[in-house]
Amino acid sequence: MSETRRIRGSCALSLALMSPRSREIVQDAWRAFASHDAERISAVFTEDAEWPAPPGNATAVALNGPSHMIGREAIAHFLAEKFPRLFVRDVAVTFHAFHADGERVIVEETMTATLANGNRYENDYCLVFELRDGLIHRVREYMDTARGHRMIFGREE
């Protein structure tokens, strides 16, 4: 067996072993997010974690916050304090798929909620979680930004 094959084989084995655990880490994180407990949320992120979302997305605009959160404390504060101010009740996430490959987990989901203005919210998301040392290091968030603006503000941006 050549050196290249051995290295490939080792990597494949490593990815296969990490993927189920990676999926569990992300699923546990969703339970922490739903708790709105800043301490519990903070515990699932690296200190230097980042959560970039599309610039000017409706949630960031409505909450007068950044589209790119940096640091576990900023992310935990958003999920525990700011998020519930806009999405006030009936928040539900329907998971369509979890795709895990090594330390990367892709989540396809639909979130529904009642907004602070009484409007109904429903949008599809794709989130790419990048893990490091068993914690979330980065979450790249993708959503239909025009749909979000229509539901939150009644117009597209």
Tell me: the pLDDT tens digits for 56-81? 999 999 999 999 999 999 999 999 99
Q: Considering only CA atoms, which of 77, 78, 72, 107 is closest in space to residue 93?
A: 107
Write the DSSP symbol of residue 63: T
CB 40 within 8 A of CB 80: no
Nearest Cα to Cα of residue 49 among 75, 19, 80? 75
| pLDDT higher than threshold 70 for residue 116 | yes
Residue 15 domain boundaries: 3-153
Residue 13: what pLDDT?
A: 39
Average pLDDT score, the chain? 89
37: pLDDT strictly greater than 70: yes
Task: Give the residue-averaged pLDDT of 121-144.
Answer: 97
**DSSP-based three-state secondary structure for 38:** helix
Rounded distance, CA 136 to CA 29, Å? 8
CB-based burial label for 51 (10 Å; 0-12, 13-18, 19+) = buried
pLDDT at 3 exceeding the cut of 90: no
CATH number at residue 103: 3.10.450.50
Mean pLDDT across 27-45? 96
Across 87-94, average pLDDT = 96
Count of structural domains, the chain: 1
> 106 near 99, Cβ under 8 Å?
yes
Position 120 pLDDT exceeds 90: yes
Tell me if residue 151 falls in helix, strand or coil. helix
- pLDDT at 18 > cutoff 80: no
The answer to whether residues 107 and 121 touch, using CB atoms and an 8 Å cutoff, is no
